Each structure stands twice: as structure tokens, then as C-alpha cells.
Structure 1
Amino acid sequence: MTGPITDIVFDFCGVLVDWQCRAALEGRYPDDLVERICADDDPLGFFRYEDDMDGGALLADVLPVVAAEQGDGIADIFRDYIERYGDALPRLVPGMENLLADLDGAGYRLWGLTNWSCETFHFAFEKFPQLERYLGGTVVSGVEKKRKPNADIYRLAEERFSLDPAATVFLDDTAKNVDGAIAAGWHGLKFTDADQARRNLAELGVRI
């Protein structure tokens, strides 16, 4: 792929927004229970239930499943967690607001593409309104009922934002989502931190 980059598309959690499940639970529930909920092997299913919501399921649909699988007590905690989801977003990822400002000032078009529930995505812009100012629009999986890394969500973003795949860069902290973008003909960058993102973008000819 050749030609100048015109559009840069960002994932949200882990790229723009620091998402921390435990930040919404610590101090409200016993430490050992918080550790179980947030464990990488997901023994109480919170990450799996969130993934269902990212795909378009509503909390009202998911809660009966949580109760059947985990019991009413865990279902009540999951509902509380979702209703206070802003607490799981303690800050922007360091350096990313400056990167957005620099890219915007240099004339690049900026967009969002995220796997996120339609019922909790609003917390991102409510807590960090500067993101909505910099991004020209965001495709949210839970709204569209399409999700990364499937090709249809990248095509939807192309149509909605008039993207030229060869002139578009996508940054995501999840490798399979980057691979999905590359398969769609975009440039894809695996995000680690803001400094690395700047270096990777510069290697693609982005001038900031």
C-alpha cells in the first residue's frame, strides 16, 4: 500500500481509555471476591458477559444468564458494575490526549472503532468529553451488532466515514483486531503505549 495517510482510527479500551474492571469493584466488595471476578481465567464470567453485551445483548438479557450460572448475588454485583461502569474508566491512557491533539492539529481525520456495549459506551464521552471533540465519529459494536475482528465492522466504518483503506491506519491493543484491519486492507498497528504509537505512525509517513 502506498500513498499518504489521511485517516487514523482508534480502539478505545487499552488505547484511548484505561479500562480497569477492579476499579469499579474495589472498596465495595470483599478483596478476595474482587480478585476472583477480575482473574484472567474469568471464573465468574464477567468478561464473557461483557463480551455478549459488546455484541449487542442488553443488560436485561444478560442478567438472567448471570443469575442462572452464578447465582443471584453475583448477578446483583454484575448489575451494579454495569450501572457504575464509569468507575471502571479511571483515566485516559497516558499520552494519548496529546497524540490526538497533535494529529488533529496536523489535519488528520480521527475516528473511533470499539467493541463496547451500547448501554455503557456513553460513559467514555461523559468522563472524557475531549475524545468526542477530537473524533469525527465512532462505530460501536454493541450499537451495530457487529464486532471486531469480523470484516463487516471495518467495512461499515469505511462507508460511514468515507475511508480509503489504503490511506487508513487502525490502532488496537488486541492483535486479532489489528489483523482484522489488515485483512480489510487497512494499515494496522498493535498498540502498546503513546510513544510507540507515535513512532509507528511516523514510520507510515504520518507527520506530527
Structure 2
Amino acid sequence: MAISTAPSPDSPITDVIFDFCGVLFDWQVRSCLEGRFPDDVVDAICADDDPHGFFRYEDRMDAGEDFADIYPDVVREQGEEIARIFEYYIEHYGDALPRMLPGMEQLLRDLRAHGYGVWGLTNWSHETIHVAFDKYPVLDELLQGTVVSGVEKMHKPNADIYELALSRFGLEADRCVFFDDTAKNVAGANEVGIHGLLFSGAVAARDALAGLGVRL
């Protein structure tokens, strides 16, 4: 039986937009650092309260700042040892992306096969975004376009980056679904009229899409 190449006429959804880290990829800072630096230091860096500021500094990169401009702040605020570890992390970013999350490549393939638009929208540094595409070239095959915060100097959950994605890709907000693993980014999508959904795995994503009339 032939596979349909057009979205179901019963569904208002025509396009699905995906965050990257925590949705398409498993993102693990620990995978990059463990075994290369002392365990207690790695544990502190990866702690939920972020005492060494790795995620704060990375958020600044995601918002468009250059590593070279941030690094002196890391040295001043965290000391030379932590700064060198942060530099190592950025230089070996691919090691923090150990795998695509189970079922996600197939979900993207099924969406494309059934005529849905498939797009990316990620908070990511303009200096390291190439790592994701170099390590997982299937992204170039399956995503029809990606908006990157660090390139645009916009940042989820602010409305402007969602509106830019809609405009650039030629999409209607109420006909799009956006998956993100962070609640505030889902809320940001909802505020501009996109169907924002909190990601909890490929199976749940398929169920959520089915609930909106997407037939795969």
C-alpha cells in the first residue's frame, strides 16, 4: 500500500518544529568531562544548582555571545581550573551529544514521508551548532530548515525567535506543533499561537501528534 505524501485532511497540523538538546539529542555534559577531570569537580559542574556556572555561560553563547568574550568572565568568576574545563567542554562539544534520542530519527522520517514539514528551533551557540550537523548528518537530510538562537541573537522563550521561525519557514502558527523539553520554551511557543508540547520521548510525541490529528 502506498504511503500518503500529504498531511491528513482531518488534521489542522501541517508542520512540526523540534528543539535539539533533550528532544532530538541526548545532551550530557558529564559524557564530555567524565574520566578526563576529577570526579568531584565533574559532579559539581553537573549539579542542579550549577555552582560553576557552565549553563549560565553556555546560555550567553546561545544568545549570541562569542566564547572569546565570555572566557575572561569564567576565569575571573570561577578560576583558571574551571575556565580550562569549560574551554575543553566547548572544544569537545560533540562528546556531550552521545546519541540521537531513541525513535526520533524515525519520527522525523515518518513525518516527512507523510508530507508534514519538519523544522528545527534551538537555543545553541553559533560557534558550536556545526557540531550537531557534523556528528549527525541525517539532520541535513530530514530538517527543512533550522533557526539557531546564537546566529540570530534571539533566545527562547522570547516571542521574537518563534515569530522569526514562522516567517522564515512560511508557516502558520496554529498549524504548527513545537516540541521542547523545557516548560518555559513550550509556554513561549503557546504564547505566539503554536501548539507547544513538553517532550518526554518519541512514543509520547507520536501520541500527542495523533491527538492533534496527525496520522503517521
TM-score range, shorter chain: over 0.9
Hey, what does 1:60 align to over in structure 2? Answer: 68
- Give the TM-score of the pair, scaled to structure 1: 0.98
Decide whether the 8 Å contact of 1:37 with 1:44 is kept in 2. yes
Query: Which of 158, 167, 171 pairs up with 1:159?
Result: 167
Decide whether the 8 Å contact of 2:11 with 2:214 is kept in 1. no
Q: 2:122 and 2:73 mapped to 1: Cα distance?
A: 24
Decide whether the 8 Å contact of 1:7 with 1:109 is kept in 2. yes
Structure 1 residue 3: Cα displacement: 5.8
Hey, what does 1:13 align to over in structure 2? Answer: 21
Structure 1 residue 123: Cα displacement: 0.8
Structure 1 residue 85: Cα displacement: 0.3
Moved over 2 A (4+): none
Question: Does 1:197 pair with 2:205?
Answer: yes
Question: Which runs of no fewer than 5 residues in structure 2 stay unpaired?
Answer: 1-9
Q: 1:129 and 1:194 mapped to 2: Cα distance?
A: 20
Query: Which of 83, 86, 89 pairs up with 2:91?
Result: 83
Hey, what does 2:7 align to over in structure 1? Answer: none
Hey, what does 1:173 align to over in structure 2? Answer: 181
- Counterparts of residues 1-208 of structure 1 (less than 5 Å): 4-208=12-216
Question: Which runs of no fewer than 5 residues in structure 1 stay unpaired?
Answer: none
Alignment root-mean-square deviation, CA: 1.0
Match for 1:173: what amino acid? Answer: D
Q: 1:188 and 1:57 mapped to 2: Cα distance?
A: 27
Structure 1 residue 25: Cα displacement: 0.2
Decide whether the 8 Å contact of 1:3 with 1:166 is kept in 2. no
- Give the TM-score of the pair, scaled to structure 2: 0.94
Query: How many residues are matched?
Result: 207
Q: 1:188 and 1:42 mapped to 2: Cα distance?
A: 27
Q: 1:3 and 1:17 mapped to 2: Cα distance?
A: 28
Q: 1:102 and 1:32 mapped to 2: Cα distance?
A: 43
Decide whether the 8 Å contact of 2:112 with 2:142 is kept in 1. yes
